[in-house]
Chain A
Amino acid sequence: MDPENSRRDFLKKSIFLLGGLMAVGVAVPGGTYFLSPLWRKGEEGWLELGEISKILPGEPVKVDYAQRRRDGWATIEEKSSAWVVTDDGKKFTVFDPHCTHLGCPYHWDTAKKKFLCPCHNATFGMDGQVISGPPPRPLDQFTTKVVGGKLLIKPRSGGA
């Protein structure tokens, strides 16, 4: 190869090398930044639902609570609720208040003794199992614990 051709060849390779390095140099921090929501952990604190003595066995009880949490750069206080079921006043099952079908808010039908979702007439038993309708799985539950006579739940991060 004559010297001019090999020089051209060297320059071409250098351009692609340097260009590639710059592309990687921008793409790595940029991509990491862009993808960071994937590995960002949600807030995982325990939330207090209230005194267990106020939750009576038998009927499910809807408990409203206020949750103060970080939402990106803002600190927001949002109101939410949960359905609490207990047989003996010692062990508690707490359901996420959204139907597992499409996320509609369901309620307890006292006459029929079932959870009823108004969107597609789905029904769930007191144990959260699907009785009828389209939901793909039983009602979602929160992890619970009892500390000092108070019921605490751990909301799951992210959607079910």
Chain B
Amino acid sequence: MRTLVDWLDERLQIREIKVALFDRKIPKGVGWIYTLGSLSLGIFLLQSVTGILLAMNYSPSPQFAYESVSYITHQVTLGNIVRGLHKWGASAMVLIVTLHMIRVYFMGSYKYPRELSWVVGVFIWLIVMGFGFTGYLLPWDQKGYWATMVGTTIAEQAPLVGPALAKLLRGGDTLGTVTLTRFYAIHVLVLPALVLTLIALHLFFVVRQGISAPPERDKPDGPHA
């Protein structure tokens, strides 16, 4: 083990990476509420694993989508657990990412020098909502179908671009076969690619700049204590 680490270190200087990632100091006062970001990442990993497993037994067509989800739920061993994890993981993801955002908002952590972390974070939050919106159509049950009907009709209300937007979302004039495959492709290909990129960027910022210290009351001579 040690020799392998040495061998890699001679070539890639991995100990430097370890020092930069793990030995870096975290400012005093960082408490439990700062774990929300890592928690989001943890749930994201859970969603990735369960999502890949679900995709193995899912068929994105109106003819078979419902049957395949029912197959996962009733026929595949522990399929109901994997589906349950993905569903509750989704709710947890929305909740935790939102709480993380609320924490950053009230602590003013988006301020200099972390403006870009915030902007990237807002887009991650939007993508998480997009995962939710595209995800619950996939079982092709009443809830998903009608929620998507309402959702795409809302998009239709947008000034000027509305009708075009709704048509793009649905892949046509009506909600049907093409909508389902589009939502599936967006849910399992487009959004994961986008969110992975943004998460990488977000983490890079955090490691590079360090996590923000807890806010301190403004003193007459500036933020100095």
Contacts and interface: CB of A to CB of B under 8 A. Distances in A.
A and B touch in the complex (CB under 8 A): yes
A26 B42 CA distance: 12
A39 B75 CA distance: 12
Nearest to B63: A74
Main secondary structure of the interface of A (DSSP, over half): helix
A74 B64 contact: yes
Contact of A33 (B59, B68, B79): B79
Given A36-B77, A73-B68, A73-B70, A30 B50 contact: yes
Interface residues of B, number: 21
Contacts of B75: 73
12 contacts: A29-B78, A29-B81, A30-B53, A30-B82, A32-B77, A32-B78, A33-B77, A33-B79, A36-B78, A73-B64, A73-B71, A74-B67
Contacts of B42: 22
B57 A72 contact: yes
B49 interface: yes
A73 B59 CA distance: 9
Interface string B68-109: 101100011111011001000000000000000000000000
Interface of A: 22, 26, 29-30, 32-34, 36, 39-40, 72-74
B78 A33 contact: yes
Main secondary structure of the interface of B (DSSP, over half): helix
Given A73-B68, A73-B70, A74-B64, A30 B49 contact: yes
B67 A29 contact: no
**B50, B78, B79, most chain A CB atoms within 10 A:** B78
A9 to B, nearest CB: 16
A72 B53 CA distance: 15
Given A26-B46, A30-B49, A32-B78, 17 more contacts: A22-B42, A29-B78, A29-B81, A30-B53, A33-B78, A33-B82, A34-B56, A36-B77, A36-B79, A39-B77, A72-B57, A72-B68, A72-B71, A73-B59, A73-B68, A74-B64, A74-B67
Contacts of B49: 26, 30
Contacts of B50: 30
Interface string B51-64: 00100110100001
Contacts of A30: 49-50, 53, 82
Nearest to B77: A36
A101 B25 CA distance: 66
A73 B78 contact: no
B53 A33 contact: yes
Interface in B91-146: none
Interface in B144-202: none
